[in-house]
Chain A
Amino acid sequence: MKLEIDQQRLNSEIETLAAISDAEPPAVTRIVFTPADLKAAHG
């Protein structure tokens, strides 16, 4: 069995979510039910 982590996909998901924030990077703020939270939830 050969296990391979898809680093590109994982990093992409993390970066995508990190970009949805009410705070300036590198901080991330997504309070529940705020537009940022809803955007992260539904794209």
Chain B
Amino acid sequence: MPLETFSRDGAALIRGARRREQVRTLMPFPMAGKYDGVVGVLGGLEAIRALQRSGFRPKSSIELLVFANEEPHASASAAWEAASARALQKQSASQAADAEACGFLGSRHTRSQSSSWDGIRSAAARELLRGPPRTPTTPSYFPHWEWHQCANLFRRRAPRD
């Protein structure tokens, strides 16, 4: 079973399997702890499994997103957050105010005007395709291929049912 299958609206549904391949890129640095990076993914995966076991059927797709190299400024995850916050702005002024107050909108560099989920996905993909920041904040042991590997996640065409 693939890492993700796609619903009719194109959103990824994580169904387990291949998780180790996913986790392999998540050790954030040498001499890390066993929870670093890994637990954030496996925890989310187990939460989805728990929902599946309970028989819960969401009205919308639930996605588990993994970003390699996500801590540096202008990362793909920051782009995702910013684009998501834009979507919130369309829905609720109070939510938007909260997002602005806590810095959820991200920096000017990572902000996106996109408000649709397709737009959010595209914004994150574009950020990934930009590659590492021009002024690297990460050690050289994070090779560029990780960015491209992540970008491929967004390049995949969603198969239709």
- Whether B33 lies near A32 (C-beta < 8 A) is no
Q: Interface extent on B, as a size class?
A: 20 to 34
CA of A14 to CA of B47, assembled, Å = 15
Cβ–Cβ < 8 Å partners of A15 in chain B: 34
* Shortest distance from the beta carbon of B87 to any chain A beta carbon, whole Å: 27
Chain A interfacial residues counted at CB < 8 A = 29
Cβ–Cβ < 8 Å partners of B54 in chain A: 1-4
Q: Which of A9-43 contact B (CB under 8 A)?
A: 9-10, 13-15, 17-18, 22-23, 26-33, 37-38, 40-43
- Whether A26 lies near B39 (C-beta < 8 A) is no
Cβ–Cβ < 8 Å partners of B34 in chain A: 14-15, 17-18, 26, 28
Q: Which residue of A lies closest to B142 (CB)?
A: A32
CA of A1 to CA of B60, assembled, Å = 17
Which B residues are within 8 Å of any A CB, using their own CB?
Answer: 19-21, 23-25, 27, 30-36, 38-39, 42-43, 46-47, 49-51, 53-56, 141-143, 145-146
